[in-house]
């Protein structure tokens, strides 16, 4: 009787451990996508990010994550953010124009009630996920 209950206990423990792994990995991946360093890197590499977006085949809405830049930046960094965005205004304008021709991105933005002129950067991740930062 002891052998059976120990075996069942070990099996249940293994199932619980295995079921917890995807949840932890998923939570880590989502928080890593909308980060300050990712945002700043994306703003500073708009041309590269656009080229990466254009190289994607079969982009779908579920591969797009919309991130309000205000949610990842400290309130005290507003001046720094404004200066960075002013410096990159030409690149941001080109980005917005290019994104306006991408039906999947336009549809994702519209579905979340985010106007394209609020987009300030994109970050194309390895594997094809796209983080769209807006303000």
pLDDT tens, residue by residue, 34-70: 788 889 999 999 999 999 999 999 999 999 999 999 8
Which region among 16-25, 59-68, 69-78 has the lowest average model confidence (pLDDT)? 16-25
- Continuous segment of H or E residues that includes residue 28: helix 2-33
Model pLDDT, residue 14? 40
**Which one-letter DSSP state was computed for residue 124?**
E
State the pTM of this model.
Answer: 0.74
d(CA 50, CA 98): 8
Residue 7 CB neighbour total at 10 angstroms? 10
Pinpoint the alpha helices (H) of 34-88.
Answer: 36-43, 46-55, 78-87
Contact 49, 123 (CB under 8 A): yes
Report the chain's mean pLDDT, rounded to a whole number.
Answer: 80
Q: Which residues pair with 122 in a beta bridge?
A: 132
- Continuous segment of H or E residues that includes residue 67: strand 64-68
**Beta-strand pair 119-124/64-68:** unpaired
Q: Is the pLDDT of residue 29 over 80?
A: no
Model pLDDT, residue 17? 35
Q: Is the pLDDT of residue 5 over 50?
A: no
Q: Is the pLDDT of residue 98 over 80?
A: yes
């Amino acid at each position: 009787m002891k052998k059976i209950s120990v075996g069942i206990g070990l099996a249940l423990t293994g199932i619980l451990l295995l079921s917890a792994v995807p949840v932890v990995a998923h939570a880590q991946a989502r928080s890593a996508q909308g980060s300050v360093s990712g945002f700043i890197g994306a703003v500073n590499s708009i041309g590269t990010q656009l080229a990466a977006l254009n190289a994607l085949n079969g982009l779908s809405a579920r591969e797009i994550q919309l991130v309000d830049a205000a949610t990842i930046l400290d309130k005290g960094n507003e001046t720094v953010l404004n200066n960075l965005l002013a410096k990159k205004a030409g690149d941001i304008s080109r980005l917005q124009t290019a994104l306006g021709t991408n039906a999947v991105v336009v549809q994702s933005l519209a579905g979340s009630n985010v106007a394209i002129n609020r987009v300030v950067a994109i970050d194309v991740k390895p594997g094809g996920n796209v983080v769209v930062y807006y303000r």
